[in-house]
Chain A
Amino acid sequence: MSVDAKARYAQSHEYARQEGDLVVVGISDHAQDELGDIVFVELKEAGKKLEKGQVFGTIESVKAASDLYMPLSGSIAEVNAGLQADPALVNREPYSGGWMIKIKPDAVKDLEALLDAKAYASLVGEE
């Protein structure tokens, strides 16, 4: 399973990667592999302000529906509209085309509270 070295990770398997003023959020390669074929992604609207740990959307695979949690506090600047038509993007390219939301973070340094790529790799290696 691949881990994006530039991203940081939540225990609940969301990644957060800084791009300029924004933070791109999706789910890790490990998470998409565990979920199996994704059939539906529902995301909150742009402009919504959410705290770390609040639900920003729901992802449904052939196995299960799961909530998606904010890895850090901020407002949703943009959502990936492409996932509506092709939710399998999350399976094929979780770190690029399969991104979910872009957050305008309350504080970029909140990223530091998340796991780095190495720590996350060892977390999922243990499971």
Chain B
Amino acid sequence: MNLSPEPLVFELSRPGLVGCSLPGSDVPPAELPKNLVRANLDLPELDELTVVRHFTRLSQKNYSIDTHFYPLGSCTMKYNPKANEAAAAEPGWKHIHPLAGDSETQGALELLYKLQESLAEIGGFDSVSLQPAAGAHGELAGVLMIRDCLKARGEGQRKKMLIPDSAHGTNPASCTMAGFSTQTIPSGKDGNIDIKALEAALDDSVAGIMITNPNTLGLFERNITKIAAMVHQAGGLVYGDGANMNALTGVFQPGKSGIDVMHFNLHKTFSTPHGGGGPGAGMVAAVKELAPFLPGPLARRRAGKYELAMPEKSIGRLKAFYGNFGVLVRAYCYVRMQGAEGLRRIAENSVLNANYLRARLEKTYKLKYTRPCMHEFVAMGDVAPGIRTLDIAKRLIDYGFHPPTIYFPLIVPEALMIEPTETESKKTLDGFVDAMLSIAAEAKTAPELLHAAPTTTPVGRLDEVAAARSPVLCFRG
């Protein structure tokens, strides 16, 4: 990694430098309205080569799955095959005009249709919309569908959504945006939903429940079928947050367990990098009763041709055109490349890798919930007096590893949420364990190393408190 600090473009700016020289104008200049003219536009002045070097040096400081192990819990930072990048970059896909008619885009519509069908089968659902652009966008689609479905049933007064305390953090925000209030349901001692607390919350104001399965503790919700039946009995609907689908592909079909509507993150499980700064896709799937409410348009097949159509009672559009098409191309190639067997191996190996790490680390990093995990697990970082999870995370950077997700979920103190994914070798996993054990030993013998970490990065430990209390948001040279 390039370790030297990089100045801001504003600091590199020198008066008079320009990135390109334009030919003199051969038409009379237009007069701009006086009130729109300003003299003090603070843009940096730089030449082209300085700009190229600046951004290249910044890019060399990137830490990514293509350079290092990245066990960031709940984010499924797995390797995404480069073949699917090449497929998505084919000119035939990337140069389609979004306003081209159905007859000119049969191939693209066929891909959308076949991907809808594949994902419906993987999830055990009736119908799929590829519209939502991200996971939380898919959640919003799902709760809006629940809202409209309840209205259609004449039950629009149901406004309370139940959310377990082990659910993804975005769930309450999606509910609020859709006009629901939320109630937290606590977890029991086994890390699953407390059935008694759920029972007590089920009244005639309940619109539904949002379940993350496996939950953010990395534990499978063993009572999923029973919970769904209880919520249905009370007149509510069941939303599944499929952000952790990597643990389930080819093994468990959520749509067959009582979940009515669910999103998956194509940009985690299906071959588009998560957190890459690029677009995502949070497709949403529904059982028969909810399918007419899906956001549209969907691709469908009629008389041997493909076409786009809005579902009958659609909540409407959530995205311009047809979702993030490039992500959908990668997902389609990935599903076809894996096949049913490959999809099953993804889930099996992601669970196996997580349990291998859990078993090797659990004597040193204590677990609040000790049963076997799914694709991730949550350990605790308070391995020595005065040492916090933040210190462990920062020290890992010095060992060349991206830290796990920390301080989430909130129900585990000093949480370290570790998700290795299926694409890592035993050698890499062992290297990570060695680093974690070595750091735990240092925590006892040389805690100052942890408090001072990281020391191998362009900038050291950041002052998070000052950044939150008195942030400096603008460059003022």
Contacts and interface: CB of A to CB of B under 8 A. Distances in A.
Interface of A: 34, 36-37, 39-40, 60, 62-64, 66, 87-88, 127
Most buried by B among A40, A62, A127: A62
B37 interface: no
Contact of A64 (B388, B407, B469): B407
A103 B408 CA distance: 32
Contact of B469 (A34, A39, A66): A39
A110 B216 CA distance: 36
B468 interface: yes
A60 B410 CA distance: 13
B468 A39 contact: yes
B413 A37 contact: no
B465 interface: yes
B465 A64 contact: no
B410 A37 contact: no
A127 B382 CA distance: 13
Contacts of B468: 37, 39-40, 60, 62
B413 A64 contact: no
Contact of A66 (B406, B410, B413): B410
A63 B407 CA distance: 6
Interface in B68-89: none
A62 B413 contact: no
B464 interface: yes
Contacts of A37: 464-465, 468
Given A39-B469, A87-B469, A127 B407 contact: no
Given A39-B469, A87-B469, A62 B410 contact: no
Given A34-B413, A127-B413, A39 B465 contact: yes
A37 B413 CA distance: 15
Interface string B76-118: 0000000000000000000000000000000000000000000
Interface of B: 388, 406-408, 410, 413, 464-465, 468-469
A37 B465 CA distance: 7
Contacts, number: 23
Most buried by B among A36, A37, A63, A127: A63
A60 B407 CA distance: 13
B195 to A, nearest CB: 19
A2 to B, nearest CB: 17
Q: Is the interface of A mostly helix, strand, loop or mixed?
A: loop
A63 B169 CA distance: 13
Most buried by B among A34, A40, A64, A127: A64
23 contacts: A34-B413, A36-B388, A37-B464, A37-B465, A37-B468, A39-B465, A39-B468, A39-B469, A40-B468, A40-B469, A60-B468, A62-B464, A62-B465, A62-B468, A63-B406, A63-B407, A64-B407, A64-B408, A64-B410, A66-B410, A87-B469, A88-B465, A127-B413
A105 B119 CA distance: 55
B385 to A, nearest CB: 13
Most buried by A among B388, B464, B465: B465
Most buried by B among A37, A60, A87, A127: A37
Nearest to A34: B413
A60 B468 CA distance: 10
A127 B411 CA distance: 11
A127 B413 CA distance: 9
Contacts of B408: 64
Nearest to B470: A39
A87 B469 CA distance: 9
Please name the 6 residue pairs, one residue from A and one from B, whose CB atoms are nearest each other, closest first: A39-B468, A63-B407, A37-B465, A62-B464, A39-B469, A64-B410
Contacts of B469: 39-40, 87
Nearest to A87: B469
A88 B413 CA distance: 20
Given A37-B464, A40-B469, A127-B413, 11 more contacts: A39-B468, A39-B469, A60-B468, A62-B464, A62-B465, A63-B406, A63-B407, A64-B407, A64-B410, A66-B410, A87-B469
A66 B410 CA distance: 9
Nearest to A66: B410
A127 B388 CA distance: 16
